[in-house]
Structure 1
Amino acid sequence: MKQLLFIISLSFFVFSCGSKKTVVTKKSKREQTEAVIVEKKTPEKEVESTTAPSALTSTEAYIEAYKEIAQKEMTLYNIPASITLAQGILESASGKGRLSVEANNHFGIKCHTWTGAKIYHDDDKKGECFRKYNSAKYSFRDHSLFLTSRKRYEGLFDLDVSNYKAWAKGLRAAGYATDKKYPQKLIGLIERYELYKYDDEVLGLNPSRRKFNTEEEYLEHVVAKGDTLYNISKRYNTSVEAIKNANNITGSNIAIGQVLKIK
């Protein structure tokens, strides 16, 4: 009887040991499988780098960037490309000024009746309102519309479109700028960078055959009803004596239709 119990106990012990060994083996296999899964990595997606467009670094770069736009405006609105470019260079500091960089406003045109986007900038007064454009080309177009839609500038379009000197002086006389040296600044830029050649291309002229008038340039004013030497002098920011001297007038009488030279 004792021997039988001993045999049964021994069998139970052996069976128990075998069962534990099997459990350990299965656990080991599962741990190895899990380890393989953890070590498997998905490669990260590469991120492409982007480079912001570089700002214009020189006046030459400004001219190259906008000469074709200025020529298109000349074709459509009869404004010399040389004048448009020179004004853009002067007003925007060759594209580096705040208004041109942040608002694409290359001509310093203020809001007036503008209902579009705006930017505020210190000019003659603190925090003045200026127009803001989505693209520089819209600034050039608005410049053309600004000149062609205002009565004060209509005299400009009686001038020879190839005569940039007369246009420069005409802008000042019409009140575009308060700086007395504004015409000389425009003319200086046009001649320094040979901007007149872009006018010649539009007009189909041979640049080498362009005739530069070394004599002093004059504007012309056709006397209308109600004109006097005094109010004409105020309109063109000159003096009565200067008008009389330029036109060999001794008295104060002028006739309707008379053409006066304005220095």
Structure 2
Amino acid sequence: MIQIFCLLFFVTVFADAATQRKIPSYEKYIKTYSDLAIQHQKKYKIPASITLAQGVLESGAGQSDLARRSNNHFGIKCHSDWRGGRVYHDDDLRGECFRKYKRVEDSYEDHSKFLKRSRYESLFRLKITDYKGWARGLQKCGYATDRAYANKLIKVIEDYELYRYDTGKVHNLTRKEKKNLKFPTVRYTIYRTYGLLYVYAKENDSFDQIAQNLDFPVKDLKKFNEVPEDFPLQRGDIVYLEKKKKKADKPNYDHVVQIGESMHSISQKYGIQIKSLYKINKKDKDYVPEEGDVLKLR
């Protein structure tokens, strides 16, 4: 049955993430500080992807006025317990006090220690690869006032494949290595909703494992789900076995954005192609959904 669907639904649609426009300053920043973020993951148990994404956003990839003047890459304000250097910068209010560091490395160290406060304690109960949970948690715990903060972090992590730093997968396997991969036999139940066939990802699952167990071309599976190489799956994620639709089925007319949702996760929820979701809502590829936004689905 699955083999028939492989033939029927072969597509040439490229993954949205694969064609995402890359910002050179972001790529340079990630290359410069990825090793440092990985070191801090090992030492403090904070996902490297989260550290890098926060650094990119909070410092404007190291180019913001605050970052240049104070080496502050994470927008951490002085607070009453701060005894180090200070600079004053307009943020939510005029002339707010921000921490000043001698080196960027000191900013990274202070950021990791800052997240060890009791306020963020719940985050350390999450799996190190759960960048979505960390992003949602940071927003809920009040790290930033921006209602799209978690979604912005997730977009940067997914656009630049920063999740690979959390697992150590920073290089692509060769064809020979992939061919030699052996996964345990797993039984998947195939469902149909909105007229689409799909399975639910299991604990520690991957597209390669699903493809091998269902005798399904992994290349097609990734195209159908519009994901790049090594995209991580979490338990319960929907994995489509055929091309998604251009609009949602009735009665799904719109969707209210929640904390931690990306255009990709919303498209997966309703079985819509990402490019169609952008088009229906007249949004460009730089748009980040904000908590409370209402998106049209058809």
- One fold, TM greater than 0.5? yes
Q: Residue 115 of structure 2: SS of its match in structure 1?
A: helix
Counterpart contact for 1:75–1:202, Cα < 8 Å: no
Partner residue of 1:132 out of 90, 93, 100:
100
Question: Between the two proteins, what is the percent identity of the paired residues?
Answer: 51
Aligned match of 1:14 = none
Change (3 A) 1:121 1:108: same
Q: CA deviation at 1:181?
A: 1.0
Partner residue of 1:69 out of 36, 61, 65:
36
Whether 2:114 is the aligned partner of 1:146: answer yes
Q: CA deviation at 1:208?
A: 3.6
Partner residue of 1:155 out of 111, 122, 125:
122
Aligned match of 1:167 = 134
RMSD: 2.7
Aligned match of 1:100 = 67
CA distance in structure 1 between the aligned counterparts of 2:124 and 2:87, rounded to whole angstroms: 31
CA distance in structure 2 between the aligned counterparts of 1:106 and 1:192, rounded to whole angstroms: 20
CA distance in structure 2 between the aligned counterparts of 1:188 and 1:78, rounded to whole angstroms: 22
Aligned match of 1:25 = none
Q: CA deviation at 1:63?
A: 0.5
Counterpart contact for 2:89–2:95, Cα < 8 Å: yes
Aligned match of 1:233 = none
Q: Which runs of 4+ in 1 moved over 6 A?
A: none
Change (3 A) 1:71 1:116: same
Residue 169 of structure 1 aligns with an amino acid whose one-letter code is R
Q: CA deviation at 1:104?
A: 0.3
CA distance in structure 2 between the aligned counterparts of 1:188 and 1:213, rounded to whole angstroms: 20
Q: CA deviation at 1:212?
A: 4.8
CA distance in structure 1 between the aligned counterparts of 2:75 and 2:32, rounded to whole angstroms: 19
CA distance in structure 2 between the aligned counterparts of 1:176 and 1:82, rounded to whole angstroms: 16
Q: CA deviation at 1:214?
A: 6.8
Whether 2:233 is the aligned partner of 1:211: answer yes
Change (3 A) 1:209 1:86: closer
Counterpart contact for 2:163–2:232, Cα < 8 Å: no
Q: CA deviation at 1:209?
A: 8.0
CA distance in structure 2 between the aligned counterparts of 1:140 and 1:120, rounded to whole angstroms: 20
Counterpart contact for 2:161–2:231, Cα < 8 Å: no
Counterpart contact for 2:78–2:99, Cα < 8 Å: yes
Change (3 A) 1:119 1:201: same
Q: CA deviation at 1:151?
A: 1.2
Equivalent residue runs for 1:191-202 within 5 Å: 191-201=158-168
Q: Structure 1 regions of 5+ residues with no counterpart?
A: 1-56, 217-236, 238-263
Residue 136 of structure 1 aligns with an amino acid whose one-letter code is V
Partner residue of 2:52 out of 85, 92, 111:
85
Aligned match of 2:25 = 58
Larger Cα Rg: Structure 1 or Structure 2? Answer: 1
Change (3 A) 1:62 1:173: same
Counterpart contact for 1:82–1:190, Cα < 8 Å: yes
